[in-house]
Structure 1
Amino acid sequence: MHSRSAPSQKSEVAALRCEYRDARTEKAFLRHHLAMTQAQLRVTFLFCSLFYLSFAVTDVIWVGYGGRTLLLVGARLMVAATALGSLMLLRRYPRSIYITRMVASLVETAGAAGFLLIAALRPNEFSLHSISMSIVITVIYIYIPNRLLYAGAIALPATAGFVALAALLGNLRTAELATMAALLTMANLFGYVAARRYQMLLRDEYSAQTVLKNLSVRDPLTGCYNRRHLHNQLLETEISRAQRYRLSLTVIMCDLDHFKAVNDTYGHHGGDAVLQRFATLLQSMTRDSVDSVVRYGGEEFLLILPETDLAGGELLAERLRQALAAAPVEHDGRRIAVTASFGVASVDFASAPHTAHLNMIAAADDLLYAAKNGGRNRVCVRQLA
């Protein structure tokens, strides 16, 4: 798929939730960082498992052997089992954003709930528990990659539950309880600020990478893909996909008629305005995130149309021809009338030989010149066998 969306900028990130306002851009960002996110989750889940299990020794020291100790160990095993089970899900679904988000929230919830149960079963140590609660809050916000909204929705109720338990079971003075609540509130605030800063930096970096990538694969004047990207990746990707699924693939070579005369009459600024208008027309009349528009050279453009047969390609070329001829380009108060010629070549990979695609662009180029020689402002088509 090939999106024409403009590079995402910092202004497009929602300030509070630290996500791109455009859902497609946010999904692309998450997909880009998915492998790194899952790697961080694996490390953090193992750390959480070891953290909870290793402190089982303190349960015996503080509570001794008995039924309460078994409950404490059970709570720790529950958290560890949730983390290890989540590791298995990540291994089974390495490309799923949904599963990645789900297991992050699941482990955060299990960790917070498990710790509250441990605190309730060891009520004489709430001063020490508050230190551990601060660590839990930090892990939820910073060390487990998750939506900032989800992290806050887990950490804040857990904090409120901990303070409520301390008030009911901790036998603390009012001043001690108020101080504990204030410190844990600050831990939430600092955790949110640190996580927000990290998320903003990640998105700033991604936006910069997107801009650089667009500069490397797109023509700066028209915003279309450039010829280098066509031959390095784009064409091969679409041909391989069409072959794999036995689909039709159509290409359209199009060229502005008498473009030299436009430059001679209206200057290069007028020629640039015509090129930009033509590119905008091509992009607006093709399918976003499906079709690809390439500036092939000078005033020549190439359209790549996946899952499109010859009839569909011919129809699109005719619509483009008519739309361009019917709408002169406005430039410096003057109207520049322009037309274009089109060559359409198509391959049906359900029946064509495996090598039928090798001359697709050359065939479309030959058809374009046939349209030029036939009087210009026309469409020539051919089904490649």
Structure 2
Amino acid sequence: MARFRIEFEHPDTERDFQRHHLLRTQTSLRLTLCWCVFFYLAFALTDVAALGFSRETFLLFVSRTTFVLAVMLGLHYVRTQPESIAVPVLAASVIELVGMATYLVIVWLRPDEIQGQAMSLCIMLIIVYVFIPNRLIISKGIAVIATTAFIVIAAARLPSTEALKLSMRLVLANGVGLVAARRYQRLWREEYRVLMDYKHLSIRDHLTGCYNRRHLHDTVLPSEIAKARRHKQQLALIVCDIDHFKSTNDTYGHQAGDAVLRHVSSMLRTLTRHHLDSVVRYGGEEFVLVLSQTGRDGAVSLAERLRLAIATNPTTDAMGRRIGVTASFGVQAINFATAGRTVTEDRLFAAADRLLYEAKESGRNTIRVDEWADDSSVRTMDSPQSRAYDTSDVC
């Protein structure tokens, strides 16, 4: 976490944090600004009481109305762009600037009440630091600028001793607000970090770091099928199984077997696309790859690269032994632009799993591939007519 900004140092982590709290940010912004608008308008009555119906009263009314319009415009953009992370920050920053500027106009036109106005500014500073959701560095800058401007006005209107006392109170308010805001921002991010740690543990396999079986069936596969069907995209499912893994465990021991699993999973994750594909440890020595926006040819090409990588890169265990293994692959592709009306998660997975067992029965260290067709979906489940993939065709 950045020391001065109190934000996550990695931009992607900070962006994910902001997105996670986006709904809370929008709600807090609406509630706080509505209260601010109410009190800004309510205190317009004090302008009339202090100045009567004068030119100054009209200028103050215009200033207060400007703040209200800024709030309405900002909340409108927040409502019309609910998925945007930047809009609430921009709205909060502009509204804080307008609010402080209009308040300084009030201070300038009502100089006889500057002591009471200093207390009001202290409250406004706390609101800026703590209650209006914004980046701390922006809130701090706006608060310091407003405080400095107020002190300049006070120095011009009050004796030096009184101006100094007032300045010290405002500095204290800034200090209290800054400390509270830093603690608030840090607690929010610590809470998010712990939540993400628990989420990571709940969806990841502890040995390999891949997604686990539950996450595949609860989230990954249903969402990828739904997305591919909605956008009429291609989708591929690869089921991979390490050949003769039980023999590897019996020969070298379970710790060496764990090293093999970590090594193979590392190759699977390295050769797939980080932001599009999902690698899942399904159980034991079996892995599942969900390839988004990938057709039959792309899936087969990837499976062959993975097959060669596993076969030609032996694992080195803790005792320095080199352990060579191979893997078999079942590749089921589907194009939702031309097929897929009858596809379900269970059918798609069962078809790919059946192809894997065909690959293992045909000698292992090989690939079986098929492409889904609606008129043969039942046949694919009961007696799949898959095709062996000749690895010698790959350059």
- Please state if 1:235 is matched with 2:221: yes
What does residue 144 of structure 2 align with? 156
- Please state if 1:362 is matched with 2:354: no
User: Partner letter of residue 61 of structure 1?
Assistant: A
- Secondary structure at the residue paired with 1:344? strand
What does residue 90 of structure 1 align with? 78
- Please state if 1:219 is matched with 2:208: no
User: What CA distance in whole angstroms lies between the structure 1 residues aligned with 2:168 and 2:249?
Assistant: 71
What does residue 175 of structure 1 align with? 161
User: Partner letter of residue 329 of structure 2?
Assistant: F
Unaligned runs of 5+ in 1: 1-12
1:97-108 mapped onto 2 (5 Å cutoff): 97-108=85-96
- Secondary structure at the residue paired with 2:224? helix
- Please state if 1:192 is matched with 2:164: no
User: What CA distance in whole angstroms lies between the structure 2 residues aligned with 1:161 and 1:199?
Assistant: 27
Q: Does the CA contact (< 8 Å) of 1:82 and 1:110 recur in 2?
A: yes
The correspondence for 1:337, drawn from 324, 330, 355, is 324
What does residue 296 of structure 2 align with? 310
TM-aligned CA deviation for residue 114 of structure 1: 0.7
TM-aligned CA deviation for residue 356 of structure 1: 3.2
The correspondence for 1:350, drawn from 318, 337, 362, is 337
- Please state if 1:265 is matched with 2:227: no
User: What CA distance in whole angstroms lies between the structure 2 residues aligned with 1:333 and 1:192?
Assistant: 55
The correspondence for 2:18, drawn from 30, 37, 41, is 30
1:43-58 mapped onto 2 (5 Å cutoff): 43-58=31-46
User: What CA distance in whole angstroms lies between the structure 1 residues aligned with 2:296 and 2:96?
Assistant: 54
TM-aligned CA deviation for residue 51 of structure 1: 1.2
The correspondence for 1:249, drawn from 235, 251, 259, is 235
What does residue 106 of structure 2 align with? 118
User: Partner letter of residue 188 of structure 2?
Assistant: L
Higher alpha-carbon deviation: 97-106 or 87-96: 87-96
- Secondary structure at the residue paired with 2:139? helix
Give structure 1 regions of 4+ aligned residues with deviation exceeding 3 angstroms. none
User: What CA distance in whole angstroms lies between the structure 2 residues aligned with 1:357 and 1:246?
Assistant: 15
User: Partner letter of residue 26 of structure 2?
Assistant: Q
Q: Scaled by the length of structure 2, what TM-score is found?
A: 0.92
- Secondary structure at the residue paired with 2:288? strand
1:275-294 mapped onto 2 (5 Å cutoff): 275-294=261-280
TM-aligned CA deviation for residue 84 of structure 1: 2.2
Q: Does the CA contact (< 8 Å) of 2:51 and 2:57 recur in 1?
A: yes
- Please state if 1:202 is matched with 2:188: yes
Identity within the alignment, %: 47
- Alignment RMSD (CA, Å): 1.2
Higher alpha-carbon deviation: 346-355 or 91-100: 91-100
User: What CA distance in whole angstroms lies between the structure 2 residues aligned with 1:333 and 1:175?
Assistant: 78
TM-aligned CA deviation for residue 132 of structure 1: 1.0
TM-aligned CA deviation for residue 98 of structure 1: 1.4
User: Partner letter of residue 46 of structure 1?
Assistant: C
- Secondary structure at the residue paired with 1:219? coil
| CA deviations over 1:88-141 (Å, ceiling 9, x no partner) | 222212221111111111111111111011111112222111111111111111
User: Partner letter of residue 289 of structure 1?
Assistant: H
- Secondary structure at the residue paired with 1:157? helix
- Secondary structure at the residue paired with 1:225? coil
What does residue 8 of structure 1 align with? none
